[in-house]
Structure 1
Amino acid sequence: MGAVYLVRHGQASFGAEDYDRLSERGAEQAALAGAELRRREVTFSQARTGSLSRQVKTAEIALAGLDSAPAVKEDPRWNEYDHVAIAEHHAGGADQVGADPRAYQAVLDAALTSWVEAGDGSPCAETWPAFLARVRGALEDVVATLGKGEHAVVFTSGGVIAAACGALMGTPEAGLLKLNRVTVNAGITKLVSGRGGLTLLSFNEHPHFEADAAKLLTYR
């Protein structure tokens, strides 16, 4: 039975002009995720990442810790939803630069709900149905290229992971709006592929952020 490991990127630079840059803590988180993958002794036949800087850098750091890792293939379908556009069109243009993280998250949660409810009628360049379709397509393509017993690792974002897991449980909207809130930076989600199709085996694993590493646990 093959598996797809979805790894959320490390902490980005919230509040900065360049949000997409991996923070110093994010780099530490990425290294811990790599150490956790190495501990599991999983051999990956392929590795994917979105094209966002925080995703690419997380992949680079995490895979450097493995004894052997495949070349990483970038696929922008693994990119996160455009939170700036969603906030602009569904939250009156709320700006994250210099904002309080918790206050901004509350605004973004409400904006995401509005974005999902708007469906194809959203003024955003990418609507919720379009986002969900590209996430499903990216996941289906990875699964289709796996041979018997092969494993893939994908470095992506919380919203993508939440939507994919929600879709596997039959509730993609609830997945995005509820699971997205609790995904930890550099957490690991495991999907298994077998005769019955793709199944969610574990979500948001983060034992690598326990004990002495607990101080590195972040959600945003």
Structure 2
Amino acid sequence: MGAIYLIRHGQASFGAADYDKLSSTGIEQGSVAGAELLRRKTAFTEGRTGSMARQRATAEIVLDWLGAGALVKEDPRWNEYDHVDIVARHGGGVPQDPADPRGYQEVLEASLAAWVRAGDASPCAETWPRFSERVRGALADLVGVLRKGESAVVFTSGGVIGTLAGHLLGVPETGLLQLNRVTVNCGITKLVSGRGGVTLVSFNEHAHFEGRAARLLTYR
């Protein structure tokens, strides 16, 4: 039986000119996640990251703790959905406002729901069905290279993790719209693969952000 650990990237720079960059909090979160994986003494034989800067930077920080920096391979199929395009096409193009992150989140969630409802008829460059197919393909290919007893780590985003968790539970749309909203930055989701297929074992573990590290707990 193989295991796959999905790590959500650290906090991005909401409202900044370059959103796709870890904030100072995001950098600290990566170190905490790295220390947590080191504590677990999990040996990884495969590593993947999307091509987004926040995903790659999180991978670099975490894998530095494990002494496994050369392990990760870049695969853009692990990238997040394009929230700017989705909000532009389904939410009126409301910009990120650092003074009102909750307001933007409400617009984003409504836009995502409309994106899902539109299916292949969405005017977005990537529709919901194509996004879902893309991330499921990335997972299937990774599972295919793992041998019995091997483990992999993936650095990706909340929408990808929520969608895959939902897919494994039989409700991919719910995964995107409900599980996605509660994923924490640098939370850990664990999947196992065996004769019966891939199973969701744990979702969004974040005990490493309790106690003295509680100040680092963020959702966006």
TM class by smaller structure? over 0.9
In the alignment, the residues of structure 2 paired with residue 70 and residue 147 of structure 1 have an alpha-carbon distance, to the nearest angstrom, of 20
Please tell me whether the aligned partners of residues 3 and 190 of structure 2 are also in contact (alpha carbons under 8 angstroms). Answer: yes
Q: Partners of 1:72 and 1:99 in 2: how far apart?
A: 36
Find the aligned partners of 2:16 and 2:97 in 1 and give their Cα distance: 6
- Structure 2 vs 1, CA of residues 98 and 211 (structure 1 numbering), >3 Å: closer, same or farther? closer
TM-score, scaled relative to structure 2: 0.98
Cα distance in 1 for residues equivalent to 2:162 and 2:106: 17
Contact 1:8 1:155 in 2 (8 A): yes
Q: How many residues align?
A: 220
Instruction: Report the aligned-residue RMSD.
Output: 0.9
Q: 1:139-164 CA distances to partner (integer Å, 9 max, x unpaired)?
A: 00000000111000000000000000
Tell whether the 8 Å contact from 1:44 to 1:69 is kept in structure 2 after alignment: no
8 Å CA contact 2:51–2:75 kept in 1: the answer is yes
Distance in structure 1 (CA, Å) of the matches to 2:6 and 2:66: 16
Q: Counterpart of 2:56?
A: 56
Q: Please tell me whether residue 145 in structure 1 is matched to residue 137 in structure 2.
A: no
Mapped partners of 1:131, 1:99: distance in 2? 30
Contact 1:5 1:190 in 2 (8 A): yes
Asked if 1:91 corresponds to 2:75, the answer is: no
Gaps of 5+ in 2: none
**Does the CA-based 8 Å contact 1:44-1:151 persist in structure 2?**
yes
Q: Which residue of 2 aligns with 1:174?
A: 174
Q: Paired residue for 1:46?
A: 46
Residue 218 of structure 1 pairs with residue 206 of structure 2: no
Tell me, in whole angstroms, the C-alpha distance in 2 between the residues paired with 1:67 and 1:94: 42
Aligned equivalents of 2:155 and 2:174: distance in 1?
22
Query: What is the rounded CA distance, in whole Å, between the counterparts of 1:78 and 1:67 in structure 2?
Result: 23
One-letter code aligned to 2:112: L
Map 1:195-210; keep pairs closer than 5 Å.
195-210=195-210
Identical aligned residues as a percent: 68
Counterpart of 1:127, as a letter, is T
Native 8 Å contact 2:115 2:122 kept in 1: yes
